[in-house]
Amino acid sequence: MAIATKNTKPFYNTEIPSDWEIKKLVKLGNVISGLTYSPDDISEETGVLVLRSSNIQGGRLNFDDNVFVKVKEEDFNLVKKNDILICVRNGSKSLIGKCALIDNNAEGMAFGAFMAVFRGDYNEYLIHVFNTDIYYREIHRNLGATINSINGSDLKEFKIPLPPLPEQKAIARVLSTWDEAIHKTEQLIAQKEQRKKWLMQQLLTGKKRLKGFENTKWKIQPLENFIKSVVREVPKPDVPYLGIGLRSHGKGTFLKPDEQPEKNSMDKFYVVKPNDLIVNITFAWEQAIAIVRPEDDGALASHRFPTYTFIKEKGHSDFFRFYILQPRMKFMLQMISPGGAGRNRVMSKSDFIKLEFLLPYYKEQIAIAQVLQAADKEISLLKAKAEKLREQKKGLMQQFLTGKVRLKLK
């Protein structure tokens, strides 16, 4: 149960409960620096695994991006469970201060020179404080003038508002409950995304067939059997308009406002409609291809963005929304985009429509799309749940870690 705070005292530009203490980190534990190593000592697979800032993702430790260093393990300071690993130096100022609590999986690992460890008596509470505006205000107040870094001596001087220990433990328990819920939801999202990836690999290649289509053979066919070119030419606008752009690597469309159309050298533009297939001929080799979204309706494209509609009962936009993301599509787009790197590699529009793929017929396209859309919806709902949990936790942190609301202790 929570109760409102009554008696307060000043702390910087806010108020904290009168029975809270204000302590420097040096009074709460030790700051331990990481070890400098030479780039020549880095190995891809052997040596000592060294924790870096890239191992901290979303406040947790992640081991997708590891670095091994060929030095003796005893030359390093090793982390202990419940240490707080902190990024103290980075090329990006926004990454300074990001941190994570060391768990059983990371205990005993080393950490590099751009990192530090705070070793205190009750870090289960402090890790939450280290993710508040109070902490990041101290970080940015002490950043070096020319280098994106903060040194250990400055870190020790950080002032932290602390409730009595029983309240620290109670707050940590509550916030950790939200952390665990967020973590489990994120794990589930990762599992569902992996399952969707597998489904795409199986369904979009015909390796796995859906019930009712087992005896229907796929056929190698050119894209012109499924799509046809559409030209909705309009003159250059004389008022601000929304243009459409395409991200590479199959990451979809985006809208870009043009506030000064009079400065545009092009005389003609082309209107796009939802469910069009659109390609950027300049960056097709980087898989700049997409299906137009409903929110893109009426946006204008240049001549570099040829647009196609799907032939009725031949090609289905929902199916091709997934199909165009396949590695095979990227490979084929590269094959018809000759030339050097960058803007010199221009896709041939005549070759594009002739590209051949092993494809199912219309009804199976719809069935496959429905399965993959259901997987997408499931992932979207889980992501919305995770975001709601993060917002709930943020609200609790603002209340509990400043003492605006107190937990009633038994």
Cα–Cα distance for residue pair 311/320, rounded to 1 Å: 12
pLDDT tens-digit series, residues 304-343: 999 999 999 999 999 999 999 999 999 999 999 987 765 6
Residue 56 β-bridge partners: 61
pLDDT digits (tens, 9 = 90+) for 131-155: 988 888 888 887 766 667 888 888 8
The DSSP element (H or E) to which 277 belongs, if any, is strand 277-279
Whether the Cβ atoms of residue 92 and residue 131 lie closer than 8 Å to each other: no
pLDDT digits (tens, 9 = 90+) for 40-95: 888 777 777 888 888 888 888 888 877 788 777 667 788 899 999 999 888 888 88
pLDDT, position 4: 63
Give the Cβ contact number of residue 126 at 10 Å.
24
342: left (phi over 0), alpha (psi -120 to 50) or beta: left
pLDDT one-digit tens code per residue, 111-134: 888 899 999 989 999 999 999 888
Calculate the CA 373 to chain-centre distance. Answer: 21
Domains 2-163 and 219-359 share a fold: yes
Q: What is the pTM of this model?
A: 0.84
User: Domain 2-163 carries which CATH code?
Assistant: 3.90.220.20
How far from 59 is each of 99, 189, 239, CA to CA, in Å?
A: 6, 17, 46
Cα 355 from Cα 72, distance rounded (Å): 55
Q: What is the dihedral of CA 21, 9, 12, 405, to 10 degrees?
A: 80
Pinpoint the alpha helices (H) of 29-88: none
Domain ranges within the chain, ordered by starting residue: 2-163, 219-359
Distance CA 316, CA 322 (A): 11
The more confidently predicted of residues 144 and 12 is 12
Residues written for the chain: 410
How many Å separate Cα 226 from the centre of its chain? 34
Q: Rounded to an integer, what distance in angstroms lies between the CA atom of residue 168 and that of residue 204?
A: 53
Is the CATH number of domain 219-359 1.25.40.20? Answer: no
- Tens digit of pLDDT for each residue in 384-396? 999 999 999 999 9
